[in-house]
Amino acid sequence: MLTADGVDPAAVRKAAAGRRAAKATVVEVRGAGRPKHYEAEGSVSPGAPTDDEVRAELRDARVELTKLKQVLGTGAYAQTGPRARVLPDGTAVAPSNAPDVVKQVIQAANAIATTPYKWGGGHGAWRDNGYDCSGSVSFALAGAGLLDSPRASGGFMNYGAPGPGKWITIHADPGHMYMVVAGLRFDTSGANGGTRWQAEPRGMSGLQVRHVPGL
């Protein structure tokens, strides 16, 4: 429809809309900042470990993994088969297929399993009102005829033969020691429920691993 001056308003509006659509739209994002500059591929970030440091860490990790596999692959922490178990009174019961000497170790350990911790306990006399870590293990081993006199923690670092045993494994360093008998840990550290018998394993880093020959 034409107006008095010969102009069609609808045509004017359509033409204006076409011109706006044809123009490029520029959007400014405030606070976007300048584009990041990325380092070239293969460059080393500041503070990253050197190749030698990485290799040293991998070596240490492999050593610790090997130690762990050695212990986990033996009866010390066997996941299947008969194992000793802890009773509600804090004593342990040996598996039926355990050698007699292992049962004797467990029986002797039961006699002091719930006694208090006492630094130096069990070293001046076999019978004491408390026992420390090495005194506890010494008492249990002596009860089965596997030890003649009490040893300090460091003394167990050369006890028996190196490596884990099938039934009895000793873990020792100059400051602490414990033993694992038929899958149970006999340890004054982290005792649960007032007993030295514990089903949970513990870290072995830095400890010498020994066993009674044949066991």
Query: Buried (b) or exposed (e) across 127-159, using 16+ Cβ within 10 A?
Result: ebebbbbbbbbbbbbbbbebbeebbbbebbbeb
> Between the CA of residue 82 and those of 77, 167, 184, what are the distances in Å?
11, 11, 12
- Rounded Cα distance between 115 and 46, Å, is 55
- Rounded Cα distance between 61 and 193, Å, is 34
Please report whether residue 27 resides in a domain. no
pTM of the model: 0.62
| 5-14, 69-78, 136-145, 190-199: range with lowest mean pLDDT | 69-78
Please report whether residue 33 resides in a domain. no
Q: Specify the higher pLDDT residue, 165 or 26.
A: 165
Please report whether residue 56 resides in a domain. yes
Q: At what angle do helices 133-143 and 100-110 cross, to 10 degrees?
A: 130
Which residue range(s) make up the domain with 100? 52-211
Please report whether residue 160 resides in a domain. yes
Task: Tell me the per-residue pLDDT of 37-96, one tens digit each, with 9 for 90 and over.
Answer: 545 555 556 667 787 877 887 887 777 666 555 544 444 444 344 689 999 999 999 999
Please report whether residue 94 resides in a domain. yes
Closest listed residue to residue 130, CA positions, set 120, 109, 140, 116: 116
Please report whether residue 40 resides in a domain. no
Per-chain mean pLDDT for the chain = 79
Domain CATH code at residue 68: 3.90.1720.10
User: What total number of domains does the chain contain?
Assistant: 1
Please report whether residue 69 resides in a domain. yes
Confidence at residue 46, expressed as pLDDT on a 0 to 100 scale: 66
Amino acid at 199: A
DSSP state of 80: S
**Quick check: 197 and 121 in contact, CB under 8 A?**
no
Please report whether residue 45 resides in a domain. no
Task: Tell me the per-residue pLDDT of 91-142, one tens digit each, with 9 for 90 and over.
Answer: 999 999 999 999 999 999 999 999 999 999 999 888 898 999 999 999 999 9
Tokens standing for 87?
A: 């009773």
